[in-house]
Chains A and B, each alone.
Chain A
Amino acid sequence: MNITTENLQTAIDRIQNRIGPIGDEMNMLDGQLGDGDLGVTLVNGFNNLAEIRDDLPEDLGKALFNAAKAITAVSGSSFGTLMATALMAAGKSVKGETSVALTRLPDLLASAQEAMIARGGASLGDKTMLDVLDSVIAALREAGDDPRNMQQAALSAANKTLDEYRGKPNKVGRARVYSEKSVGLDDPGMMAVKRLIECLAA
């Protein structure tokens, strides 16, 4: 199976259909540690992606770049910037291709992760979405190329990482200020990644 712009459009549809309640949940989670706008960022971002979905070009690299543009146009928060960064990095690694083998998905995510580390300055272990992404990438490398297996493997990796980090303090960003308070809470960015993976189930 391959990744095409059509798959990207399907993913946007699936997430956008369920983004409302996810947004409420993320605002609540983020409000405990930060300024409570993570949900707004996600909802605005995916609604804008839905706006441009029909116009996404066949070139997967360009499609991912256009998706990044759509995200940044409506969300100035750092999470929005990092999502756009991730999409651009993934886009760059498939520039000029219209169909990419699903087995390359971990590599795309790894390039996205690397770009987010460079731009945002967080490290692995800081209790951010990077930690979830890291375990998801590792799980996907083992999961073969059946989409259903890949989604399941990604989801259980995300759950495992959330469990692992719940008792640890946040080490970066605004949540760092409330480092002690963050012990026992799920990181909103980590949870957001898990919810997005859940949306991808057919």
Chain B
Amino acid sequence: MKKLINKPEDYVDEVLEGMALAHPESFVIGGSTGRMLHRPAPVSGKVGVVSGGGFGHIPVFAGYVGEGLLDACAVGDVFASPDMNPMLEAIQFADTGKGVLCVVGNYGGDRMNFDMACEMAEMEDIACARVIVADDVAAAGPEESHKRRAVAGFVLVTKVAGAAAAAGKSLTEVTELAQRAADNLRSIGVALTSCTVPQAGKPTFQIADDEMEIGMGIHGEPGVRRGKLRPVNDICDEMIDLLLADKPMAQGSRVALLINGLGATPAEELYLVFRRAKARVEAEGARIAFHLVGNYATAMEMAGASISVLHLDDALEELLKAPASNPFWKA
């Protein structure tokens, strides 16, 4: 393991400290365990939007605390769900009387703990709603889409939820819009190298220098096909084909496209992916109305990328384009 770290067991807390020191206008460490990032002050008169999940995916999840995005976020250990308590504290922070939406990635621990945190909050008369993001088409077939895990597309749902809340919509409306985004979202990734969890100290999985794995998850979960590394256009075509097979693009439709780096892939290569993906989307007769290219949901130092497509309507497009302010949000 070659990393710029101190003690592996201090990794998460020290990174959070660094984030709060670097961006005090956006991130404040809170909660009884110091495992919650929140905005400097709660914003009253709007629905609160919170999230939470394992660490090691910066900017997901905690990095998206900010104006027009999340109000607070619970932080777990690397690739491990936070327990219910920081989640409850995030909900309590974000609630100013209009209720709170929890945007949750489809992982067992995240789901169960948010379930409990919401029950707890409801006991305190805070209205709570949940939207589960399950965008990875590699994780399960269309008939079992509820079993899919969340990957980079999570960011687009977070943006939609944050913007809808900032626009003053009700908890029901914010939830409906975020759910609509989640329902119309598809992602697929490709991994070229493994990541190393600091506390594990060695690579999560083995992959040869000349190999790639299509559909690998952001914790190194197995994908759908391992094979020889191919030119980027070919890889991109295989990924886009999988996305189209799952949800075709209609002639004249609009989509948002997110080309996400998993941590160790340079921006140059992400632009190569964008270049090919854009050509493929347009060949389908669809139009890219919004796009992002960069590191939006990483897996430590894993090399590789993912492609997310969000099928748009007017409301979703407007929310994605609404202003947001945060160190990591660059539209």
Residues in A lying within 8 Å of B, measured CB to CB: 61-62, 65, 68-69, 72-73, 76, 81, 84-85, 88, 91-92, 95, 119
Complex interface residues of chain B between 97 and 139 (CB less than 8 A to chain A): 109, 112-113, 115-116, 119-120, 123
Determine if B113 and A95 form an interchain contact, defined as CB atoms under 8 angstroms apart: no
Known: A73-B85, A92-B119, A95-B123. 14 other contacts (CB 8 A): A61-B123, A62-B123, A65-B123, A68-B116, A69-B88, A72-B83, A72-B85, A76-B81, A81-B109, A81-B112, A85-B112, A91-B123, A92-B123, A119-B115
> B273 in the interface, Cβ–Cβ < 8 Å?
no
Interface of A is mostly: helix
Determine if B115 and A72 form an interchain contact, defined as CB atoms under 8 angstroms apart: no
Residues in B lying within 8 Å of A, measured CB to CB: 33, 80-81, 83-85, 88, 109, 112-113, 115-116, 119-120, 123
> Complex formed: what's the CA distance from A95 to B119 in Å?
12
List of A residues within 8 angstroms of B109 by Cβ: 76, 81
> Complex formed: what's the CA distance from A143 to B146 in Å?
43
List of A residues within 8 angstroms of B113 by Cβ: 72, 81
Contacts A/B (CB < 8 Å), 27 sampled? A61-B123, A62-B123, A65-B120, A68-B116, A69-B88, A69-B120, A72-B83, A72-B85, A72-B113, A72-B116, A73-B83, A73-B85, A76-B80, A76-B81, A76-B83, A81-B109, A81-B113, A81-B116, A84-B84, A84-B116, A85-B116, A88-B116, A88-B120, A91-B123, A92-B123, A95-B123, A119-B115
List of B residues within 8 angstroms of A68 by Cβ: 116, 120
Nearest-Cβ distance from residue A172 to partner chain B, whole angstroms: 13
Nearest-Cβ distance from residue B208 to partner chain A, whole angstroms: 28
Determine if A69 and B85 form an interchain contact, defined as CB atoms under 8 angstroms apart: yes
> Complex formed: what's the CA distance from A92 to B121 in Å?
12
Determine if A88 and B83 form an interchain contact, defined as CB atoms under 8 angstroms apart: no
Question: Residue on A with the closest CB to B82?
Answer: A76
Counting from the closest, the 5 A-B pairs by CB-CB distance are: A72-B84, A72-B83, A73-B85, A81-B112, A65-B123
> Complex formed: what's the CA distance from A92 to B80 in Å?
28
Question: Residue on B with the closest CB to A82?
Answer: B112
Question: Residue on A with the closest CB to B117?
Answer: A72
> Complex formed: what's the CA distance from A73 to B109 in Å?
14
Question: Residue on A with the closest CB to B85?
Answer: A73
> Interface centre among B80, B83, B85, B115, by most A CB within 10 Å?
B83
> Complex formed: what's the CA distance from A73 to B113 in Å?
11
List of B residues within 8 angstroms of A72 by Cβ: 83-85, 113, 116
Nearest-Cβ distance from residue B120 to partner chain A, whole angstroms: 6
Question: Residue on A with the closest CB to B122?
Answer: A92
Nearest-Cβ distance from residue A58 to partner chain B, whole angstroms: 15
Question: Residue on A with the closest CB to B81?
Answer: A76
Nearest-Cβ distance from residue A31 to partner chain B, whole angstroms: 21
**When A61-B123, A62-B123, A65-B120 are in contact, do A119 and B112 touch as well, CB less than 8 Å?**
yes
Nearest-Cβ distance from residue B320 to partner chain A, whole angstroms: 34
List of A residues within 8 angstroms of B88 by Cβ: 69
Nearest-Cβ distance from residue B131 to partner chain A, whole angstroms: 19
Nearest-Cβ distance from residue A163 to partner chain B, whole angstroms: 32
List of B residues within 8 angstroms of A61 by Cβ: 123
> Complex formed: what's the CA distance from A65 to B109 in Å?
19
> Complex formed: what's the CA distance from A185 to B261 in Å?
48
> Complex formed: what's the CA distance from A68 to B120 in Å?
9
Question: Residue on A with the closest CB to B111?
Answer: A119
> Complex formed: what's the CA distance from A88 to B116 in Å?
8
Nearest-Cβ distance from residue B122 to partner chain A, whole angstroms: 9
List of A residues within 8 angstroms of B123 by Cβ: 61-62, 65, 91-92, 95
Determine if A88 and B85 form an interchain contact, defined as CB atoms under 8 angstroms apart: no
